[in-house]
């Protein structure tokens, strides 16, 4: 299917083989060697250029989703691909710019993804940071800090008595 995707006339001729895995591998190697300009991992265009039409990474200029599968296109099933391309072009295609992923706590660039159960993530990561990228090392550090600071009888997730609740003291009196 990828070989059937057409290209925009404004795109450079150097990206004809962008979907070939060997070509993408060479582009990634070149990107690592030159930190000045990054390339799209999907279609191989350089920063500032428009994605190759059909690239899964191109954002929709209307909603910000992926242009090839966003809700704007799905809401109008009568639109043909040509009509959709014209609408996207009229709104203004979004050029590729690399925004690096980094750990919100330590700033490590491109941290390795890791899996954590939702309950554990909610237990240790405060609500305002749950959508942030956290590296594994920082997550483990946060867990240790919280576990060490919480008394054994009042771990996170368990309610502690509040001022409005009555509590029995050691003599059995309600305070």
3-state secondary structure of 59: strand
Boundary-marking domain end, from 74, 91, 108? 91
Domain identity same for 110 and 86: no
Q: Verify that 52 and 109 share a domain, yes or no.
A: no
115 and 75 housed in the same domain: no
Q: How many domains does the chain have?
A: 2
Q: Based on the domain organization, do 46 and 120 belong to the same domain?
A: no
What mean pLDDT is reported for the chain? Answer: 75
Asked if residue 129 is part of any domain, the answer here is: yes
Query: Is the same domain home to 16 and 86?
Result: yes
104 & 85 share domain: no
113 and 76 fall within a common domain:
no
Q: Return the structure tokens found at 148.
A: 């060490």
Write out pLDDT tens, residues 105-149: 999 988 999 999 999 999 999 999 999 999 999 999 999 999 998
Nearest of 46, 49, 94 to residue 68 by alpha carbon: 94
**Enclosing domain of residue 35:** 2-91
Look at residue 165 and tell me if it is in a domain. Answer: no
In this structure, is residue 105 part of a structural domain? Answer: yes
Cβ atoms of 48 and 96 within 8 Å: the answer is yes
Q: Where does the pLDDT of residue 47 fall: very low under 50, low under 70, confident under 90, or very high at 90 and above?
A: very high
* 20 compared with 88, residue with greater pLDDT: 88
């Amino acid at each position: 299917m990828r070989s059937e995707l057409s290209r925009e006339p404004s795109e450079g001729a150097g990206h004809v083989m962008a979907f070939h895995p060997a070509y993408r591998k060479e582009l990634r190697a070149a990107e690592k060697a030159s930190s000045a300009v990054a390339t799209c991992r999907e279609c191989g265009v350089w920063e500032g250029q428009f994605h190759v039409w059909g690239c899964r990474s191109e954002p929709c200029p209307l909603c910000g989703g992926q242009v090839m599968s966003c809700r704007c296109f799905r809401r109008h099933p009568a639109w043909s691909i040509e009509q959709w391309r014209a609408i996207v072009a009229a709104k203004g295609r979004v050029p590729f710019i690399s925004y690096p992923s980094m750990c919100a706590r330590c700033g490590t660039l491109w941290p390795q993804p890791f899996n954590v159960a939702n309950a554990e993530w909610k237990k240790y990561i405060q609500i305002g940071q749950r959508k942030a990228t956290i590296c594994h090392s920082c997550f483990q550090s946060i867990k240790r800090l919280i576990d060490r600071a919480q008394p054994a009888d009042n771990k996170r997730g368990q309610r502690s008595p509040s001022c409005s609740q009555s509590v029995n003291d050691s003599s059995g009196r309600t305070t």
